[in-house]
Structure 1
Amino acid sequence: MSFDLLESAKNLFNNNVISQASSQLGESEGGIQKALGGIIPTIFAGLLNKAGSGNAGGLLDMIKGVAGDASPSAITGALQSGGGGLLAKGGDLLRQLFGDKIGSIAGSLASFAGIKESSANTLLQTAAPAALGVAGQHAIQNNLSADGFVSYLNTQKDKILGAIPGGFNLAGILGLASLGDLGKKLGNIASGIGSGAANAANATVNTVKQGGGSRWLWSLLLILVAIILLWYLMKGCGGGKHDNAAATDSVTTSQLADSVNMNANGSASTPTTTTETRESIQVTLPDGSVLQAYKGGIEDQVVNFLKDDTRKAGKDVWFDFDNLNFKTGSAELTEDSKQQVGNIAAIMKAFPKAKIKIGGYTDRTGDSTLNLKLSGQRAEAVVTALKKLNTDVNQLLGAEGYGSQFAKAAATAPDEERKKDRHISVSIREK
């Protein structure tokens, strides 16, 4: 199973989220980060514990219901507004997982991380919808059944339980002798699911044997049994949707002739160029550095814009990345995309007064809610990549996903039309 539940949830809590939490709660960033390192696996441990106690169907409905909360922008928005509905939702989720033990968990986490208990409680309530929403997104995208959900959790339990901080007696709080008991309980449930499928297959075989069917009918039914078992195993693991690591989603047009800029209202401006083939050029920056780029590409456009004093920055000024790709269905940048991100980082360094915002867009295919979240995650991934390249954080005004709300082409349109709606863009807000 290639989808790592714990790491995917941790990735939501990027530097921007940690900084925002630190500012709102009056805690050090180190304390916030340490607390989250215990909070996220604790939330998932609660999910494992409940799944091992039955009612997987109810848990599946619960996590699907918060799939829309799994984004950094939702977390920072809640922190900036004082929590509001998200904190109430988080409190309800925690009660479903831990009952009256939430106070003990918050107190132990506070002692572990060296932060106030009130801060630990707020972080728990904020993190619960986001972390569980990651599991919900995975369940929706892979059409997991209740049994398939339990089987998937069983593949993740060792990493989740291994991430619980040492010295934090979660097992004792939950009334267990050890976290290993929790893992065994879930493992027994998952084994029972597999045994049930095998027993059903064996019952079918025995029925055919007793019926004394002809040889050809016997062979046919054996093949059908094999198909049923294969289908069950694939369903339990989500059908392998994320296993093709080599596949990529293009979020920009591959030809400059297809490129359009999207303004804040989603209307398309005139294409910036009609060149059918891409001409390599060198873009020279004010600090003397030289970028390898394409004529009419984002580097060429942005640098010319920043140098032109007659053109004003603002919310309606957007430029599309033209060589940026992600692995299919994920917010992970492909290796060949890093050059263009690096070029943008170099431009920001050369123009220290410039400030930008990153926007993400998708076409109309698929679930609109998931598209919105994926576009936000991809925009956040670009901001994170820029920070890793030492871009001044004061120049980065955040990221936002717009999903398919500004898409022009219908979901049934040819891909040549729909690909114009898939892009990551840079808005220059100050220069």
Structure 2
Amino acid sequence: MSFNILDAVKGFLTPDLIGKAANYLGESNESVGKAIGGLVPSALLGITSKAESGGGDMVLDLARKAMDSGILGNLSNAFSTGGGGIPDSSPGLLHGIFGDKVGGIANAIAQFAGIKGSSAASLLGSVLPLALGLLGKHAGENNLSGSGLLSMLREQKPGLLNALPGGLNIGGLLGLGAAKPGAAPTAHAVHEEPKRSGSWLMPLLLGLAAVALLLYIMKGCGADHKEEAKVEAPVVAVPEPAPVTTAQPARESLKVKLADGTEINAYKGGIEDQLVACLNDAACVAGRDKWFDFDNINFEVGSARLTAESMAQVQNIVSILKAYPKARIKIGGYTDKTGDAVANKKLSQERADAVLAAITSAGAAATQLVGAEGYGEELAKVAEEASDEDRRVDRRISVQLREK
């Protein structure tokens, strides 16, 4: 019987394993099963696309690494108490196949299955390495070269496309169709959380993108909560300004030393500098009003897709969380007052979810992530008629330090 990678992966993901994952993630079995149904063909199509564009040898190397990681024997333990949720090798494998599209894919799965963005990211971080591991095992047992693996994947591609469930809008992210235009936000810090409890159920999740990010560097541990997430004004008149790279004042680079001795590259007065200062200062109290704005998180215009450059700051946040295991954070997304309020709210939620998903995929412990909430223009303070430059302070993504 010929080897079918789709059936192999599905056969590995038993109802028992799905139940463990659902329990670990705090989701229903039905929702996790639906997410898996979309993730398996999506992961395999991503692998196929990477093999077609980057070469079969590169994918074969990743497949061997996944197999050598022991995932085929240890995946069940990942969703057990103390298991960590995703294998340690996942961030590197995810980046190798999807690059900066990880968040967008997790976002689409979360919206499709009705699960949290962090849950979708954890599942993606398990399914993709599993698929690669099974490919590595098959290639090793059958002496497949990179070109042989590519040929096999191409033969099975039509079946993978047919397996994509209706309603899962992921073709553009996987290189199967035109991608949606991107969006562009940034971040600034603020201290007040709207009274509404936001569901961080999230419509879409990640983002990979680029846009002009404004830096409003706050002093100390606090400031005033503003935000950055831009939505195109619907239909008429003023089109959304193209991403502008505003001349930024020269920034002073520095090494921020963490509690575990790790040093990260950051900027003086940037989010890492402020957040670590608060974590090290007994007088700086964590809570609902303790916000810090990202100053190097950007999205493609009009979307929740993070730019590749944004991942450096995402990784810094993960390093900080690992060095301060008692810290717990929440992600907030904000827009200015231009455009439709409902659309702004939706985009801010998607962007907050995208950042949370990226942090999860980069290795943060799920227990340290409270969630993500999009506040839209609720906290915007600059008039809609103001210049785009003035309104930038209202477009941001921020971190709320809930516990330390």
TM-score range, shorter chain: 0.3 to 0.5
When the two structures are superposed, what TM-score results if normalisation uses the length of structure 2? 0.48
More helix by share: 1
Larger radius of gyration: 1
When the two structures are superposed, what TM-score results if normalisation uses the length of structure 1? 0.45
